[in-house]
Structure 1
């Protein structure tokens, strides 16, 4: 799985969120997307054509997350400012920092294997450890979990090992 290391500034996002767990993430993310995607054109300060799928674990450490642990899941788009947020949507800031960015290509049902590779193989054998910031995927606007050949960038927050 190809990857790159990127430094980013804060990125502003407008979207909708829900609390969910790893047990409910597939169904609940679909529900969020069905609520958000028809309304994305209401956002006047949108940047680019991508959509973010964000997991915000807050202060939780990844090692403490179980299938039932709840966290915030967001679906949103990047914006240039937070001046005009449509009713029913909220702002979110993807915090600046270093990210390992993995490009995933394939069927959505095969993605868990890639996620396992990132966290169980790549990360422990790298010069990095997880940083306590949101994880996110950058998706094309026509993304569908039913497509068999999707492409998405998976952004994992990292920092150098102490």
Structure 2
């Protein structure tokens, strides 16, 4: 079984930018939104840490079987307060809940296979089911998608099977 840890988090407040995307366009849309937000991240007050959140807010209408099903994609930073945000920067709250956390180290070309293993192998054989909350990754702010040795934490919302 894949190594993981379980964490229960309080509300986490994010300041960032969002776009609508689908699985077919997620790589390009994520790069586009990151290019807009990252140069402006220092304009945001009350920052916590030097990490960046890459968030998928799927919502009730998302269909994983349809690669064109749309969802919100966010790139942002964690903040202690959401007040007086700069123009075009919005707030998002990751609600309190339980997450299975997987640490990934490797190349970006292998990341989708790693993520697929979480849902196809780990989840069905675990004591958990998916919960309806945002999924996210946490990366260092100096993260570059073209590196062969990237590191990120993958946070999957879960709840115990009944």
The alignment's TM-score, normalised by the length of structure 2, stands at 0.96
Listed one character per residue, the Cα deviations across residues 67-119 of structure 1 (whole Å, up to 9, x for unaligned) are 10000000000000111211101100001100000000001110011111100
* 1:60 CA displacement: 3.9
Q: Are the counterparts in 2 of residues 61 and 132 from structure 1 also a CA contact under 8 Å?
A: no
Give the secondary structure class of the aligned counterpart of 2:159: strand
Unaligned runs of 5+ in 2: none
Q: Which runs of 4+ in 1 moved over 6 A?
A: none
Aligned to 1:46: 47
Listed one character per residue, the Cα deviations across residues 99-156 of structure 1 (whole Å, up to 9, x for unaligned) are 0000000011100111111000000000000000000000101111100000000000
Q: Distance in 1 between matches of 2:145 and 2:61?
A: 27
**Residues paired across the two proteins, number:** 161
Q: Distance in 1 between matches of 2:60 and 2:7?
A: 23
Unaligned runs of 5+ in 1: none
Q: Distance in 2 between matches of 1:53 and 1:116?
A: 17
Give the secondary structure class of the aligned counterpart of 2:121: helix
The alignment's TM-score, normalised by the length of structure 1, stands at 0.96
Q: Distance in 2 between matches of 1:118 and 1:88?
A: 34
